[in-house]
Chains A and B, each alone.
Chain A
């Protein structure tokens, strides 16, 4: 039973990108075009490609969770299978190619779609917990199969291929990273636009309706099961495209593309970004990829920070990072965003100090507990000190507590400013 309430998952239809304005899409395209001129190293390109793939995957996941209200613990299956099949298509064609690489994602999408049709046939009969549990079961089964069926999945080594072996595309062999980047970027735009437009179609709207109130939708002539199934298939199609893009970028697919950790992390990504918004998964994917790749260069306990971030997002900002941005739209429209500048500025320093010192507490504790005996010296924010001494820890704790109290003290001011900023009228008097 769906009892309608204002849950974050049902926030629905905020239109951050209005259809009649192609402007955001053009900006996005231009942005994607110039990005490799700003970040031109190989690793930056790889990370941007990884981001783009995660965006497509997360958007396809949000077709289920955000738009369809289906919580899946096994979405990696469709991306992974799409990727594996694309890789096999690539290898099968390499002797006698008749397409060029940019068309490979179509195959990935079709295979993702095929499996979504098959599995969705029984898994979408019900929503809610039953769907979530079936997705978990299917996810486990397919991940286990990938180790057992070696001939297809390649066992632990996975399946690899060479992307340069297909036909050249206007002189591009797709050996260099930059060419692959543009291929990925174009597909990102195609897939994102496709998914955005899908949400404006009758089936896309009805998917929202079924999410909010499946019973009502049934009495409007729509089979909730068919609606979920169709959404599921569309989602599987785009996940398959993401899988093919993965195959092109990394030229290898392994069990990790199918396992539950991958399925779980896409839930994390999507929720972090905000499931109620079309751009939510995009923001989530960018932030998550940066956190995962960059943060892990600086600290060993990055996963702990990620866990804290995720749990506090669920607790305090159930609309995700995008929700945090979106609440500023109203003050912006009212022309009162300036009311918030001063309280925000006041809170900025304690907030930054608070976060950094809290992280410092964790880092010092962790270092003191796990570093080698000769390695008492640790380096944090450019300061070198002895992690086993009490003083740095005390300083960090004092700073953290002090900034916490400062924030508590400043909170009423912010709240008042918020009330003022979101209150209609009275601004231009």
Chain B
């Protein structure tokens, strides 16, 4: 196996006395669609925040394409090609939908901290942003203020902003939370479409989504990964069932 896209080595995180992540080891290969599941409070969001640089690990390492990124700032990690979405919708509410996507593009398209380009005059930016709007089916909402969008549309925009920068590792934190069945189907299709040929790491409660999307699944319980394998094997694992899945599988 080549260098994994993301590798976690003995990753630990404590808040005061509470040890939330206790020694996680995980390798996620390039192009893999990897889901992280676990009961509430298992530390999934904390793990996400550790990988993306929002938190600094207490011990252990995060490697991205073989480079140690632990302790780096979110923007540094993002620049190396990792982008994430948020569990609670995290968009620029006062900007238009179009501008939201454009903000996601600026860095990766090389505009960085430029103060000598006029954004409105950059045809490449506008075209790319419109292309992404097309992909996430929000072209008709282009000039609306993002805060005025319906919830499902905001979730779609969230994904749009996340993928805009063209990162090759995409991390989605409960993209389907709070959605109806039909909306969920649309979002799953969208995720599949926009993460083609990319590494996807996803946290989700909806098991249907997980088993639909994921190539591999890791099960996080009390800050430890108790199982990491293909959906079939995870579904079959007694350890997982005991610890977590149990009835949920049947329900799904």
Q: Are B113 and A221 in contact (CB under 8 A)?
A: no
Inter-chain contacts of A219 with B (CB < 8 A)? 52, 74-75, 78, 83-84
Tell me if A's interface is mostly helix, strand, loop or mixed. helix
Inter-chain contacts of B236 with A (CB < 8 A)? none
21 sampled A-B residue pairs with Cβ under 8 A: A4-B91, A4-B92, A6-B147, A10-B93, A10-B94, A13-B95, A19-B120, A198-B115, A200-B120, A202-B117, A202-B119, A204-B119, A212-B94, A215-B90, A218-B74, A219-B78, A220-B75, A220-B103, A220-B107, A221-B78, A221-B165
- Interface of chain B residues 193 through 224 with chain A (CB within 8 A): none
Inter-chain contacts of A10 with B (CB < 8 A)? 93-94
Q: Are B165 and A226 in contact (CB under 8 A)?
A: no
Q: Are A13 and B107 in contact (CB under 8 A)?
A: no
Query: What 1/0 mask marks residues of chain B from 108 to 142 whose CB sits below 8 Å from any chain A CB?
Result: 10011111111110000000000000000000000
Q: Which residue of chain A is the closest to B110 with respect to CB atoms?
A: A202
Is A217 at the interface (CB under 8 A from chain B)? yes
Give Cα A227 to B107, complex, Å: 12
Give Cα A216 to B90, complex, Å: 6
Contact (A220, B94) CB under 8 Å given A6-B147, A201-B115, A202-B111: no
Q: Which residue of chain A is the closest to B158 with respect to CB atoms?
A: A216
Which 10 A-B pairs rank lowest in CB-CB distance, beginning with the nearest? Answer: A221-B107, A202-B111, A4-B93, A12-B94, A218-B74, A221-B78, A201-B115, A223-B75, A202-B114, A212-B92
Number of interface residues of A (CB under 8 A): 35
- Interface of chain B residues 26 through 59 with chain A (CB within 8 A): 52, 54
Is B19 at the interface (CB under 8 A from chain A)? no
Q: Are B94 and A222 in contact (CB under 8 A)?
A: no
Pick from A12, A201, A218, A223: contact of B116, CB below 8 A: A201
Inter-chain contacts of A200 with B (CB < 8 A)? 118-120
Q: Are A204 and B79 in contact (CB under 8 A)?
A: no
Contact (A204, B161) CB under 8 Å given A216-B91, A219-B52: no
- Interface of chain A residues 63 through 79 with chain B (CB within 8 A): none
Query: What 1/0 mask marks residues of chain A from 1 to 33 whose CB sits below 8 Å from any chain B CB?
Result: 000111000111100000100000000000000
Query: What 1/0 mask marks residues of chain A from 71 to 111 whose CB sits below 8 Å from any chain B CB?
Result: 00000000000000000000000000000000000000000
Spell out B's residues near A (CB within 8 Å): 52, 54, 73-75, 78-79, 83-84, 86, 90-96, 99, 102-104, 106-108, 111-120, 147, 161, 165
Inter-chain contacts of B111 with A (CB < 8 A)? 202
Inter-chain contacts of A221 with B (CB < 8 A)? 75, 78-79, 106-108, 165
Give Cα A224 to B113, complex, Å: 11
Inter-chain contacts of B93 with A (CB < 8 A)? 4-6, 10, 212-213
Pick from B52, B107, B113, B147: contact of A230, CB below 8 A: B113
Q: Are A204 and B75 in contact (CB under 8 A)?
A: no
- Interface of chain A residues 247 through 275 with chain B (CB within 8 A): none
Pick from B73, B118, B165: contact of A220, CB below 8 A: B165
Q: How far does the Cβ of A20 sit from chain B's closest Cβ, in whole Å?
A: 8
Q: Are B116 and A209 in contact (CB under 8 A)?
A: no
Is A127 at the interface (CB under 8 A from chain B)? no
Is A197 at the interface (CB under 8 A from chain B)? yes
Q: Are A209 and B115 in contact (CB under 8 A)?
A: no
Inter-chain contacts of A212 with B (CB < 8 A)? 92-95
Inter-chain contacts of B108 with A (CB < 8 A)? 221
Q: How far does the Cβ of A231 sit from chain B's closest Cβ, in whole Å?
A: 10
Is A208 at the interface (CB under 8 A from chain B)? yes
Is A328 at the interface (CB under 8 A from chain B)? no
Give Cα A296 to B90, complex, Å: 48
Inter-chain contacts of B92 with A (CB < 8 A)? 4, 208-209, 212-213, 216
Give Cα A206 to B111, complex, Å: 11
Give Cα A217 to B74, complex, Å: 9
Q: Are A226 and B95 in contact (CB under 8 A)?
A: no
Is A203 at the interface (CB under 8 A from chain B)? yes
Inter-chain contacts of A209 with B (CB < 8 A)? 92, 95, 103
Give Cα A200 to B122, complex, Å: 11
Select the residue from A206, A216, A220, A226 with max chain B CB neighbours within 10 A. A220
Inter-chain contacts of A388 with B (CB < 8 A)? none
Q: How far does the Cβ of B222 sit from chain A's closest Cβ, in whole Å?
A: 27
Contact (A218, B95) CB under 8 Å given A202-B106, A202-B114, A206-B106: no
Q: How far does the Cβ of B136 sit from chain A's closest Cβ, in whole Å?
A: 16
Inter-chain contacts of B95 with A (CB < 8 A)? 12-13, 208-209, 212
Is A178 at the interface (CB under 8 A from chain B)? no
Inter-chain contacts of B52 with A (CB < 8 A)? 219
Q: How far does the Cβ of B58 sit from chain A's closest Cβ, in whole Å?
A: 21
Q: Are A213 and B161 in contact (CB under 8 A)?
A: no
Q: Are B116 and A220 in contact (CB under 8 A)?
A: no
Q: Are A205 and B99 in contact (CB under 8 A)?
A: yes
Contact (A217, B103) CB under 8 Å given A4-B92, A209-B92, A223-B75: yes
Q: Which residue of chain B is the closest to A19 with respect to CB atoms?
A: B120
Give Cα A380 to B84, complex, Å: 66
